[in-house]
Amino acid sequence: TANRDLTKLRNDADIPTNAQYFNTKTRYQDFNTYLRENILAINISAVKPPAPTCTPVHFTIIARHGTRFPTAENIKKIAAFDDLVKTEANGDLSYLSELKAWKMWYKEDMAGHLTETGREDHIHLAQRMVETFPSLLTKENLQGGRVKFITSSVPRCINSTLSFQLGLKEWFHLEGSVLEFPYTVNDTLMRFFASCERFVETVLNNPEAAIQATLFKNGPEMETVQRKVADLLQIPYDKFTADLAETGFYLCAYEWTIRGLNSPWCRLYDRADAEVVDYASDLGLYYKRGYGHKIDSMASCVLFNDLFNRLEKAANEFRAGQPVSEVVTVEIGHAETLLPLVTLLGLFKDKTPLTADNYASQLNRAFNSGHIVPYIGNLLAALYDCPDGFRLQLRVNERPVEVPGLDEFSPLFKDVKEQYQQILGCNQEAICKMSK
């Protein structure tokens, strides 16, 4: 073990000190750090059935796609940042020559696509799911079509779905087989936000909707980061915007998540800087995808209902002594799919809303995107048959969460339905229609 401890020490030294502040660009194993040692590890103590006598009947996992390349817009920003450093930065910073020698390698045609590490993310998630639910995610259920795959139409999600399937094929030694597992593209479920007119009009296309994020970006905390980094690089303040300060931080994140490099860009930002940039991103997501406006989460009504209908159907089939027709459902979407849904479920809700001026008191906030939607961030709903009835367990990123209002980890399914009765059966069309 001495040897292994050495590699562990060496590996930890290679991890950027700010790795847990990369917001939606966070590696899953930098949140669930036990996976750094063994990517197929299961936190046995956390993921137990409600009682030893309970039998798992069905689970649905709704997951974000794996690690991806920056979007086209962010690739442009990275190019501008790199350009500014190459032409304007000077002074005696010990690693300035390394920053200037860095080669811009992000190209427009890779924008938004799944990376090689992103494929591995989903291969491993699939294999951990088999280990977690060995009686449900079986070779027989897979080959018998009782495991269903649903994905967003975006290529990184389709490729994440194929990678998840590959993880299962490898596990069950089906690589050589010609067997292809079907998947369904369903944007009504996985991209509900794009077709919800009221959400698009009142929040997404409305600059006022996330005014708190704008105020914070132009506020004193962000200015401190901006000036600190500008001072290190000796770039005049008027040329070094808040946007550029953020870009450099996320360039450090991309180099880490995509290439596994603790690049010199990371040295420009200390922990205090990281916490500020992370909060700036959270503010945007809080108001556009979370608790900021009711429509943010209500737009996920269609996905919420679909989830409960699946659980209900499995419970009914099991109760009637029939084989459960769909024992596992795997749904792959986006951070924007998951955040509204966990918000609608009442999870990760802070007592005080996040605003531009309460940064200092929100350092330990519940609504923390890096903890909720890192790459492959996921919500899992598992239905168990127990001596006293069906019980439901919700897990986020493979950690059990209490059902709000019931304050227990495995409440009775009927109590859960009662808890959410105001939302169950909500009408997507009525919610999303713009009132004239």
C-alpha separations of 371 from 17, 242, 278, 349 in Å = 16, 24, 11, 13
**Sign of the C-alpha dihedral, residues 190, 193, 196, 197?**
negative
Determine whether 99 is exposed, middle or buried from the number of CB atoms within 10 Å of its CB (0-12, 13-18, 19+).
buried
DSSP assignments along 88-142, one per residue? H--S--TTHHHHHH------GGGTT-B-HHHHHHHHHHHHHHHHH-TTTS-HHHH
* H-helix segments, 290-332: 294-298, 301-319
For the chain, give the longest Cα–Cα distance: 75
- Report CA 200 to chain centroid distance, whole Å: 21
Smallest CA-to-CA distance from 298 within 289, 285, 306 is with 289
Distance CA 169, CA 176 (A): 9
Of 65, 122, 293, 334, the catalytic one is 65
Q: How many CA atoms are closer than 13 Å to the CA of 156, on its beta-carbon side?
A: 24
Smallest CA-to-CA distance from 305 within 346, 345, 333 is with 345
256, 274 Cβ separation under 8 angstroms: no
- Report CA 192 to chain centroid distance, whole Å: 17
Distance CA 257, CA 115 (A): 9
Helix (H), strand (E) at residue 378: strand 378-386
Distance CA 184, CA 165 (A): 13
Smallest CA-to-CA distance from 203 within 38, 385, 9, 343 is with 343
Q: How many CA atoms are closer than 13 Å to the CA of 214, on its beta-carbon side?
A: 7
Phi, psi of 147, deg, nearest 5: -115, 120
The terminus-to-terminus CA distance of the chain in angstroms comes to 68
Return the residue matching tokens 């980094």: 229
Query: Helices 72-88 & 242-259, crossing angle to 10 degrees?
Result: 110
CA angle 18, 369, 203 (to 5 degrees): 135
Q: Is 124 a catalytic residue?
A: no
Three-class secondary structure of residue 9 per DSSP: helix
Name the residues annotated as catalytic: 65
